[in-house]
Amino acid sequence: MENPELSFTLVYTVFAVCLIFTPNEFRAAGLTVQNVFSAWLGNEDIGFIEHHLRRTSLTILIHSALPLGYYVGMCVAAPEKNLIYIYQVTTYHIYTALQSDCHVTVTESRQHQLSPDLTSPIEILTLRVESINPAVRPFNISLNSADYTDFRVKLRAPIRTSPNVVIHQTISELFLETFRAQVELNQRYKLPNGQEVEPCIGCMQVPASTKLVRLCQTAGMDNESECQPCFCRPMWCLFCLGRWFASRQDQQRLETWLSSKVPCPTCRAKFCILDVCMVH
């Protein structure tokens, strides 16, 4: 389908209208709340009042869950389209704000020692999302500080930090900035005609934006290179690949990180930072 967002919306709208107004075709196929949940609703003839109390409660519950059902489906059908909104789903509310209308402020940072086995505590940030649209009420989202760099890059809105808040990012997170800056300097990779960009298989949130091309040898920078050719199609976004790269490093020897070689997460061919190309 050309536009998965539109196709999904059309199909879902038809489904929701049929579920609420139940046309004869749906009734004939047995697709009514009464029929599908007949075992739980009990026999109408034996317990008339109980049956209808349960039926009306269940119907209200199902109908009120339709927007949440829609949101989950849209995340699967068109993950990229969802990036233009910020969502917060709680038990009774779905908060949404258009990213281009938002101001995001880090208002709090809390450290949690989730388990004694973990060497460092987990840091949870509270972010206040405020929209210039008066119809959108401000809301808070919580974020693990390990995901903060990634979030900041993907967000299309300014992000501020309250003066009293200190964000303790890990070395790996700080390394991602360096990794990104270095890859930006590398040669770019042009996608062959007709090849579609797929979502990153690491996060499923953004398009895969990197391709590994053995460039370090051709550039004559290292004749004894151990890097190997990788024939994988673009499968990872820059941040997921950067995280993978950082996760394979010796945490005690920071000076070796940039010059080290790590296996491709998919085919295990070794690559270095010079071999990472942005796809365009």
C-beta of 33 vs 200, nearer to Zn ion: 200
Element (H, E) at 148: helix 148-154
* Angle in degrees, 0-180, between the axes of helices 4-21 and 48-64, rounded to the nearest 10: 160
Site string for Zn ion, 235-274 (x = CB under 5 A): --x--x-----------------------x-xx-x--x--
Nearest to 245 by CA among 233, 260, 230, 225: 260
Residue 141 φ/ψ, nearest 5 degrees: -125, 150
User: Which residue's CB is nearer to Zn ion, number 161 or number 266?
Assistant: 266
Smaller CB separation from Zn ion, 33 or 246: 246
Per CB under 5 A, the list member of 58, 143, 232, 258 interacting with Zn ion is: 232
d(CA 274, CA 35): 61
Total residues at the site for Zn ion (CB under 5 A)?
Answer: 15
What x-and-dash track marks residues 206-225 binding Zn ion by CB under 5 A?
A: ----------x---------
C-beta closer to Zn ion: residue 27 or 188: 188
Q: Specify the 3-state DSSP secondary structure of 173.
A: helix
Contact partners, residue 251, CB within 8 Å, separation at least 6 = 171
DSSP class of residue 279 equals B
Nearest approach in angstroms of CB 144 to Zn ion is 16
Structure-block tokens of residue 215: 């460039």
Name which of residues 148 to 167 contact Zn ion (CB under 5 A). none
Binding site for Zn ion (CB under 5 A): 200, 202-203, 216, 227, 230, 232, 237, 240, 264, 266-267, 269, 272, 275
